[in-house]
């Protein structure tokens, strides 16, 4: 009995560390990020250190007018939540400074230009039909990925245009 109780406590404690990022409309996320971020910029991740969960990101364009071009922030990844910086590349960043580190907003929409998908399209019901072959399933998955990427790149472009306009109007 004690063994079962210990297992239950461990499982509950893991759940308390997990993120529960509610999927919502991108426009709602964008509004929330604008209201809750002190740093909004496009940057180039120039270094990632998996050992201490840090990364360095260089500001290439300030989208809120508050970040100096060329400034390098040391960011810190959340251990359990997205977004998570794991490789070099171009990012749109929404974050806050915490204990000297840039922290991307938990469950936020900071994202890589290489993989800008925020709200993926749900899988096609055809994927669950037993009538189609594995080859057909793979083809459907690739089509869905391509559609998700096309939508995400368009959303990212429109988001950046809107942020630039807002910055320039202020």
pTM score, two decimals? 0.80
Q: Kindly tell me if the per-residue pLDDT of 111 is higher than 50.
A: yes
CB 42 within 8 A of CB 94: no
Kindly give, in sequence order, each residue whose CB lies less than 8 Å from that of residue 46, ignoring residues fewer than 6 positions away. 56, 57, 58, 72, 88
> Which CATH number goes with the domain that contains 115?
2.40.50
- The whole-angstrom separation of Cα 138 and Cα 126 is 11
User: Does residue 15 lie in a domain region?
Assistant: no
Q: What is the pLDDT of residue 86?
A: 92
**20-24, 36-40, 68-72, 133-137: the lowest-pLDDT one:** 20-24
- Is 2 part of any domain? no
Structural domain count, the chain: 1
C-alpha 106: how far from chain center: 9
Specify if 155 maps to a domain. yes
Q: In this predicted model, what pLDDT tens digit does every residue of 87-96 receive, in sequence order?
A: 999 999 999 9
Residue 109, pLDDT > 70, answer yes
Whether 126 is in a domain gets the answer yes
- Decide if 14 is inside a domain: no
Whose tokens are 């009538």? That residue is: 131
Nearest in space to 45 (alpha carbons), one of 91, 6, 83, 81: 91
Residue of 104 and 107 predicted with greater confidence: 104
Residue 53 lies in domain? 21-169
**Does 3 fall in a domain?**
no
User: What pLDDT sits at residue 127?
Assistant: 67
Residue 110 located in a structural domain:
yes
Average pLDDT, the chain: 84
**pLDDT above 60 for 30:** yes
Q: Is residue 6 part of a domain?
A: no
Convert the pLDDT of each residue in 112-133 to its tens digit. Answer: 999 998 877 677 776 676 677 8
């Amino acid at each position: 009995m004690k063994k079962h109780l210990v297992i239950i406590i461990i499982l509950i404690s893991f759940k308390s560390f997990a993120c529960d990022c509610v999927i919502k409309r991108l426009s709602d996320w964008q509004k929330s990020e604008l209201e809750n971020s002190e740093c909004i910029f496009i940057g180039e991740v120039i270094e990632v250190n998996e050992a201490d969960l840090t990364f360095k990101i260089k500001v290439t364009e300030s989208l809120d007018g508050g970040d100096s071009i060329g400034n390098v922030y040391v960011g810190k990844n959340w251990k359990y939540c997205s977004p998570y910086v794991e490789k070099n590349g171009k990012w749109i960043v929404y974050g806050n400074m915490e204990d000297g580190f840039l922290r991307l907003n938990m469950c936020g929409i900071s994202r890589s230009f290489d993989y800008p998908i925020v709200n993926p399209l749900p899988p096609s019901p055809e994927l669950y039909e037993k009538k189609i072959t594995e080859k057909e399933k793979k083809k459907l998955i690739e089509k869905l990925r391509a559609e998700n990427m096309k939508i995400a790149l368009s959303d990212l472009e429109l988001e950046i245009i809107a942020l630039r306009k807002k910055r320039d109007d202020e």
